[in-house]
């Protein structure tokens, strides 16, 4: 496994691999790996000739007062884990290399980024789509792997790739969870023991939605009330949003007649966690 720090070097290396006829799979990450990240790398390892993982805590996707400075970082541990799953190249650029002096070009996906996390984190998705576009241009992957855990991010990146005619297949993989249902997240290490004990209520509330929908309940308002009540049983949980929306457009749904995505963002102390569960009516 090779670690590459410079943008010119990764571009040259990936260009020469492409010319050799190799397929390139990219897993963009912010590091502090857990099984969710590793599941994406393992899928890329199966599908592609060369697996590239980027580790970059992107300042542009953090708002003022958010946790950029405190975001978990563990480069040495990450490199060891990436090597174990057979990653070929790890790209670890500096913020100065990605956003050099004079940088003034941003990529915005509009409608899809307005609700859910876009509403609570203005500018977040602009940061995501700008850095993802830069990574795609530098690495020119055949496939890029994303987790369903960040559902809004995944549909936004799909839209970006379609709208800008990027010849990249976006592969979306299921959310990896702890045994008690909590979605794995780099931020979970920031939870206090009490918050960690309370956090599985998020997945429990999503499962409750699924049960209610399967039992024939159709009113989003009634289901959302039940979802809120479930989360609020935990005094440490502070709801940012709970929604039932169309899984493709992310527009809120009042009456459930087809596929629906239940999604939430909840704070425990300073730690904001997100999760979601797509539900299909059979
Ligand atoms: P991050 O480092 O948090 O930006 O995540 C990098 C990639 O890993 C994104 O595509 C995430 O959606 C994905 N990811 C994060 N957590 C999980 C999880 N629990 N299961 C599956 N994928 C995940």
Give the span between the Cα atoms of 77 and 239, in whole angstroms.
32
Query: Ligand 1: distance of its center to the CA of 27 in Å?
Result: 9
Residue 128 CB–ligand 1 contact under 6 Å: no
Residue 175 CB–ligand 1 contact under 6 Å: yes
User: Pairing mode, if any, of strands 260-268 and 24-29?
Assistant: unpaired
Tens digit of pLDDT per residue, the chain (282 long)? 999 999 999 999 999 999 999 999 999 999 999 999 999 999 999 999 999 999 999 999 999 999 999 999 999 999 999 999 999 999 999 999 999 999 999 999 999 999 999 999 999 999 999 999 999 999 999 999 999 999 999 999 999 999 999 999 999 999 999 999 999 999 999 999 999 999 999 999 999 999 999 999 999 999 999 999 999 999 999 999 999 999 999 999 999 999 999 999 999 999 999 999 999 987
169 is in an annotated binding site: no
166 is in an annotated binding site: no
Return the domain boundaries, the chain.
2-173, 186-276
Q: Which CATH class is domain 2-173?
A: alpha beta
The pLDDT, as a whole number, for residue 139 is 98
Going by alpha carbons, the residue nearest to atom 14 of ligand 1 is 147
Query: Ligand 1: distance of its center to the CA of 161 in Å?
Result: 19
Residues with a known catalytic role: 37
Residue 186 CB–ligand 1 contact under 6 Å: yes
The pLDDT, as a whole number, for residue 281 is 83
Give the span between the Cα atoms of 126 and 168, in whole angstroms.
19
Query: Ligand 1: distance of its center to the CA of 17 in Å?
Result: 26
31 is in an annotated binding site: yes
Residue 42 CB–ligand 1 contact under 6 Å: no
Which whole-number Å values give the CA distances from 271 to 6, 51, 66, 99, 275, in the listed order?
32, 31, 10, 27, 13
Fold classified for 186-276 = 3.30.1300
């Amino acid at each position: 496994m090779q670690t590459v720090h410079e943008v010119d070097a990764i571009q040259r290396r990936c260009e020469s691999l492409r010319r050799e006829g190799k397929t390139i799979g990219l897993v963009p990450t912010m590091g502090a790996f857990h099984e969710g990240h590793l599941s994406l790398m393992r899928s890329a390892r199966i599908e592609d000739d060369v697996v590239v993982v980027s580790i970059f805590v992107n300042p542009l996707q953090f708002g003022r007062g958010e946790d950029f400075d405190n975001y978990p970082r563990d480069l040495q541990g990450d490199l060891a884990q990436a090597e174990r799953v057979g990653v070929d190249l790890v790209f670890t650029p500096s913020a100065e290399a990605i956003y050099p002096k004079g940088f003034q070009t941003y990529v915005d996906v509009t409608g899809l980024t307005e609700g859910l996390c876009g509403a609570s984190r203005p500018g977040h998705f602009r940061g995501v789509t700008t850095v993802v576009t830069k990574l795609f241009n530098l690495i020119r992957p055949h496939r890029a792997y994303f987790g369903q855990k960040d559902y809004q991010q995944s549909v936004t990146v799909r839209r970006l790739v379609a709208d800008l005619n990027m010849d990249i297949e976006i592969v979306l993989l299921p959310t990896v969870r702890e045994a008690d249902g909590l979605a794995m997240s780099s931020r979970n290490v920031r939870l206090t023991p009490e918050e960690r004990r309370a956090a599985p209520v998020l997945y429990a509330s999503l499962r409750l939605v699924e049960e209610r929908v399967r039992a024939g309940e159709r009113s989003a308002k009634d289901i959302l009330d039940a979802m809120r009540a479930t989360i609020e049983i935990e005094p440490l949980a502070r709801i940012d949003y709970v929604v039932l929306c169309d899984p493709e457009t992310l527009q809120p749904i009042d009456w459930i007649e087809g596929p629906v995505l239940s999604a939430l963002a909840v704070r425990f102390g300073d730690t904001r966690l997100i999760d979601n569960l797509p539900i299909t009516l059979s």
